[in-house]
Structure 1
Amino acid sequence: MELANIERLLEKYLNAETTIAEEKVLKNYFLNDTIAPHLEEYQTLFGYFSTSKNERFTKTIQLNSQKKNWKWLYVAASIVVLISVYSGYENMQQRKAEKVYAETIDAFQMLSTNLNKGTVAIAQLQRFEDTTNKIFKQPKRNKK
């Protein structure tokens, strides 16, 4: 009868339906020397559980501190900021240069317009002088 009970408990154990008390009964049975021949394969399983329970880990565990190396992040952020400032400065200088160029073009345009007005006025004065010379018959002056 005990063998039938062990087989029923073993079936429940393999289906993960046993209680802790039933598992203790199985462990005690398989730790004895009198085991049915067809159940000997389970002896190593329960024997392993009892020997592994007594094992202790004696080495010290070295825990690595999970300090992040923020120095590299600071360096990278500094480089990004410097590049941004430099490119912004270059962009600003480019816009200033374009503005100065546009103002210079406007000044040259105004100068050209005024010089053209003066050239027209000088041409009119030259005609006036030529007409006056014809009327008063004065000789033409040599242009130098």
Structure 2
Amino acid sequence: MESGKIEKLIEKYEEGQTSLAEENILREYFKNEVPAHLSPYKLMFAFAEKQRENKMEEKAPQVGQKSYRFTWASVAAVLIIALGVFFFFQNSSSSLNQNDLGTITDEELALQKTKETLQMVSQIMNEGSADLVYLKEFNKTTNKIIKID
């Protein structure tokens, strides 16, 4: 068969415009020796032919056999949820009394503890802001390089 006709059929095949008869012509053509510029198409049609031969065997579901995998997974899930609920309510049942909350009844002592706590928080915040000096120096140097100032 002439190469020009095959090339036109290939173009139609790539566009999805070929009929079944034309596709059969292409399959038969590529079973034989082909020119070098058409060798990639030979591989493509050989692969398609091989895949057509390898049809999957459909297994019919067997009526007598049941899979208990889903059943056991459901049972395990219910047990996990039941144990979780049991332990959650067991731990939460020991309620806290007013004495366990750590409340201070003396107002002066409460004010002193609050000041100590705020002082501690202030020190931690100041330690974090001390590192910002390096960042400011870095920004100054960057601005000099970029010449923003």
TM-score by length of 1: 0.44
Structure 1 or 2, whichever has the larger Rg, is 1
TM-score between both structures, scaled by the size of structure 2: 0.43
